[in-house]
Structure 1
Amino acid sequence: MEKNSILKQTSKTVTDSSEQILTQLKNGFSKIGDIGTNTKNKFVDYVKDVFDVLPLIENVGFKTNRLIVGISVPPSIEIHFSRFKELNQEETEKLLELYSDRKMFKLIFKALKMSNEFQGKLSSDTLVFSETCIEISIPPKVSIKYLNKDISNLTKIETEFD
């Protein structure tokens, strides 16, 4: 008798939890669908601004590996970068001055510089630095990504044979 009661109670708890999750998902999708035209247009302009500065970011030594646009509340833009060259202080200052009117450039470049400085202080015997990911959202987020050295070497070998 007691097992049946516990089983029924567990089943009810799981069912209630599932219904709660489904309700939250429906509410979340409803909020996304209710985003007004003005808000959508502002976000599209924001994404276009990011697209426009990516070639400038490449000038400072960072290649864009991928860009992910998160259509959510709040919306987000996730950009994955890898560094292919290091600039000296003079070159960095020149580019910051040249693009001083580009807010998005300064935002991304400063995040990449900070990430570079932080990443330079980290090391691992089994992991190798892979890329930096900047998520432009509320709140913004910078991630430093590492790969297992064995996986990294496999990827390089596979790339050489492609």
Structure 2
Amino acid sequence: REELFPYWEKRSMKDFINGQMTDEVKAATSTQIFSINQTDKGQGHIIIDYPRLLNHGLGELVAQMQQHCQQQPENHFYQAALLLLEASQKHILRYAELAETMAANCTDAQRREELLTIAEISRHNAEHKPQTFWQACQLFWYMNIILQYESNASSLSLGRFDQYMLPFYQASLT
């Protein structure tokens, strides 16, 4: 905190946006007819492309972003997307490690198997697209939680969970 706060002071997105606004825009926002730089919740209602995530997996999305970054190295969006996707992979792998550690110390055989399954699915999902309903549920949940870290959950939606999870569910029935 002692190092980070001074570094980011006057470098936030709010500071950047306020620095770009003209006096006319600042006066207009003071009427509160419209707002800029909303900070109490996420902007808009966000539904990520869960079907793309589930049908391609994090590993393929990372590879696509790496290719975009090579083709357009100055594109900040692609750089940010790659950073997020790679961080998501690492985050999921940390859960795999935690589940393995918990399993190693677990005396209940059933719970130990559950933890090892969580670890196995997490390791798979960090690099590959889900193949089973459980893998799809786990990847969906991880990405949903990762999105919650960034926002205060006021504008995130799961979208049509029933539609994009149905193929995984149907495959699990056979």
- Bucket of the pairwise TM-score, normalised by the shorter protein: 0.3 to 0.5
- Which structure has the highest helix share of the two? 2
Greater radius of gyration (CA): 1
Higher RCO, 1 vs 2 (CA within 8 Å, ≥6 residues apart): 2
Q: TM-score, normalised by structure 2?
A: 0.31
Q: TM-score, normalised by structure 1?
A: 0.33
- Which structure has the highest strand share of the two? 1
